[in-house]
Amino acid sequence: MMQGRVHLYEGYTAHQCAFPVRVMHSWGIRTLLLTNAAGGINKKFLTGDLMLIADHINLLFQNPCVGRNDPERPRFFPMNDAYSPRLRKIVQEIDPEVRSGVYAAMLGPSYETPAEIRMLRLLGVDAVGMSTVNECIAARHLDMEVLGFSVITNATVDEDLSEEKVEHSEVVQVGKAAGPRLRSIMLRLIPQI
């Protein structure tokens, strides 16, 4: 439904980043499908892989539910099932080659340093990006069912002396190339939601 999103690195607040989710909920939407481009932290992941988000780590250190709370919603809510196990199971039946892993969101807009990549691996992160977490948190606060996909658009560089650089144009190109496979999965998933 949406093509793109706003990000914290553009100067928006976490609340503003999550605003479209709240609008969709007000329209009666109860299931949220999120996609992003992410760097592969897991060394087994290849450029172009699709990863189902099983869980996330919020390294944005912001939350869209900070501030005044809607009295119709709980102030404190669980995130242990942030990404729907039911929907993830359906996707894995549709395409068993889809990876699964933990996504971390960092502020950006710079890509990660080698030391940050080593830290992320120590934390158990499989992919890193600059979005998705605020939308997921807001959706779960609204009791929406959430499914998240990361397109692994580049292998991250974790050697201090490496000559390899992440080129944004390549990230965009890989993301576009993964589109048909992701679209095929979505078209088979949506009737089962």
Band of pLDDT at residue 175, cut at 50, 70 and 90: confident
> What number is the average pLDDT over the span 69-90?
95
Amino acid at 167: E
Cα(35)–Cα(53) distance, integer angstroms: 9
8-192: which CATH topology?
Rossmann fold (3.40.50)
More confident of the two residues 154 and 84: 84
What is the domain partition of the chain in residue ranges? Answer: 8-192
Interior CA angle at 104 toward 130 and 29, to 5°? 70
CA distances from 167 to 21, 69, 164 (A): 30, 41, 9
Q: Which residues pair with 38 in a beta bridge?
A: 152
Mean pLDDT for the stretch of residues 57-82: 95
- pLDDT band at 96, cuts 50/70/90? very high
As a whole number of Å, the CA-based R_g of the chain is 16
pLDDT of 183: 93
In the structure, what pLDDT confidence band is assigned to residue 161 with cuts at 50, 70 and 90?
very low
Q: What is the pLDDT of residues 17-53, one digit of tens each?
A: 999 999 999 999 999 999 999 999 999 999 999 999 9
Q: What is the mean pLDDT of residues 56-73?
A: 95
More confident residue, 172 or 96: 96
**Cα(82)–Cα(69) distance, integer angstroms:** 19
Q: How many CB atoms lie within 10 A of CB 177?
A: 13
CA distance 121 to 159: 13
- Given a cut of 60, whether residue 131 has pLDDT beyond it is yes
Looking at residue 174, its pLDDT comes to: 72
Kindly report the average pLDDT of the chain as a whole number: 92
Within a 10 A sphere around the Cβ of 40, how many other Cβ atoms?
A: 24
The Cα 125–Cα 49 span in angstroms is 15
> How large is the average pLDDT for residues 116-145?
97
What is the chain's percent helix, strand, coil content, to nearest 5? 35, 20, 45
| 83: number of Cβ within 10 Å | 23
Tokens 């479209």 belong to residue:
20
Q: What is the DSSP string of 23-61?
A: HHHHTT--EEEEEEEEEE-STT--TT-EEEEEEEEE-S-
